């Protein structure tokens, strides 16, 4: 698979961009477990062109993350063009356009999935961004605004004509948010459309190696993008890769391995964001790494309330020792994490 001239490994696994989740510290552990392609948290074009520190920091790239895309969103063409130029100066491998975020504060203002209500403007914006940068441009979108406006094949054709080099499709409408099941048949219709020549990346409800294999073998997508299922479970990438490449079913990591990953993630978060933010933004991850452990509530409380790094690392060490002999197969599934 290629994005423009960028060579991507066969049957690639993308980490889906998720705001306040897929920061560089989380991307680090996901990459170690086998994620092939990384994309930044979404970045507001208006914030970027106004030198917003948070937006600028999101564009920082480490070499280990490549191939890496910077994802932009906005509802004003001029701002998106300027933001694409600023993003290009940070040397990502590609620019990704967010046409799929369903959040009310974004979509109802005409950005993210709100673009699906005005395909003409979406196409116009895409052409403008493609013209503004020498980098490949990709797009992530949804099936439509609601069940009455599922025009994803038309959208994909128009975006391809506007110059994008790959399209990621979440198999739900904006109205569905994250409810119900993702419609992979609709994603497959885009992939099999004779006019579509760019890679099609499927997204939605990939929570297991078997589900990933079905996405490639049955729906024939070029890549898969995994989001919520990786929260508290970055080793899902390893499980999927082992199954795809060798047909192996990999056991759930034991608690000691999970502690090691959580500690590394916490170290990177503090290093990346400083104190106390590096701890605040780790809390959702720390509570999910150990989901399903019995009699865990007091320890979970420590993990999500303490602002003392030493106490957190000591707590993690205690978890590793106290649950060292716990059978990981007894853990409740944490495939879905709603936020």
Cα distances (Å, whole numbers) of residue 206 to 88, 150, 240: 31, 21, 10
Q: Would you name the residues annotated as active-site residues?
A: 101
**pLDDT given at position 335:** 38
Q: Name 98's bridge partners.
A: 140
Question: What is the per-residue pLDDT across 167-189, written as a single tens digit (0 to 9) for each?
Answer: 999 999 999 999 999 999 999 99
CA distance 100 to 91: 24
CA distance 61 to 70: 9
Residue 61 and residue 98 in contact, taking contact as beta carbons nearer than 8 Å: no
Residue 332: pLDDT above 60?
A: no
CA distance 265 to 286: 9
Q: Which two three-digit tokens encode residue 255? A: 């608690």
**pLDDT given at position 325:** 84
Residue 190 and residue 196 in contact, taking contact as beta carbons nearer than 8 Å: yes
Residue 99: pLDDT above 50?
A: yes
- What mean pLDDT do residues 251-280 have? 95
**pLDDT given at position 53:** 87
Q: How confident is the model at residue 328 (pLDDT cuts 50, 70, 90)?
A: low
Closest CA to 27 of 175, 160, 226, 195: 226
Residue 80 and residue 46 in contact, taking contact as beta carbons nearer than 8 Å: no
**pLDDT given at position 287:** 87
The contacts of residue 246 (CB under 8 Å, 6+ apart) are none
**pLDDT given at position 329:** 59
Q: Which two three-digit tokens encode residue 260? A: 């090691």
The H or E element spanning position 223 is strand 223-226
Question: What is the per-residue pLDDT across 205-221, written as a single tens digit (0 to 9) for each?
Answer: 999 999 999 999 999 99
Question: What is the per-residue pLDDT across 120-167, written as a single tens digit (0 to 9) for each?
Answer: 999 999 999 999 999 999 999 999 999 998 999 999 999 999 999 999
């Amino acid at each position: 698979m290629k994005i423009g001239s960028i060579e991507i490994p066969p049957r690639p696994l993308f980490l889906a961009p998720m705001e306040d989740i897929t920061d560089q510290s989380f991307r680090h552990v996901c990459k170690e477990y086998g994620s092939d392609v990384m994309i930044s948290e979404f970045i507001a074009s208006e914030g970027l062109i106004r030198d917003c520190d948070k937006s600028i920091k999101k564009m920082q790239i480490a070499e280990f993350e490549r191939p890496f895309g910077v994802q932009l969103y906005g509802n004003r063409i001029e701002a998106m063009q300027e933001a694409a130029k600023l993003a290009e100066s940070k040397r990502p491998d590609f620019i990704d356009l967010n046409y799929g975020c369903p959040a009310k504060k974004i979509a109802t203002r005409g950005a993210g999935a709100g673009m699906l209500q005005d395909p003409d403007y979406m196409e116009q914006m895409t052409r403008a961004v493609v013209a503004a940068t020498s980098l490949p441009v990709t797009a992530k979108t949804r099936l439509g605004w609601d069940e009455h406006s599922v025009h994803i094949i038309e959208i994909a054709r128009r975006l391809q004509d506007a110059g994008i080099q790959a399209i990621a499709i979440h198999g739900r409408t904006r109205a569905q948010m994250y409810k119900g099941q993702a419609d992979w048949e609709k994603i497959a219709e885009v992939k099999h459309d004779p006019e579509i020549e760019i890679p099609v990346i499927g997204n939605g409800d990939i929570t297991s190696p078997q589900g990933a294999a079905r996405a490639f073998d049955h729906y024939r997508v070029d890549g898969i993008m995994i989001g919520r299922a990786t929260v508290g479970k970055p080793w899902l990438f390893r499980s999927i890769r082992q199954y795809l490449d060798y047909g192996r079913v990999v056991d759930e990591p034991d608690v000691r391995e999970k502690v090691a990953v959580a500690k590394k993630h916490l170290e990177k978060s503090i290093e990346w964001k400083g104190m106390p933010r590096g701890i605040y933004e780790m809390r959702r991850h720390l509570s999910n790494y150990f989901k399903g452990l019995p009699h865990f509530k007091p320890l979970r409380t420590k993990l999500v309330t303490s602002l003392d790094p030493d106490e957190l690392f000591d707590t993690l060490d205690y978890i590793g020792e106290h649950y060292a002999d716990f059978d990981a197969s007894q853990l409740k599934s944490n495939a879905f994490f709603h936020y």
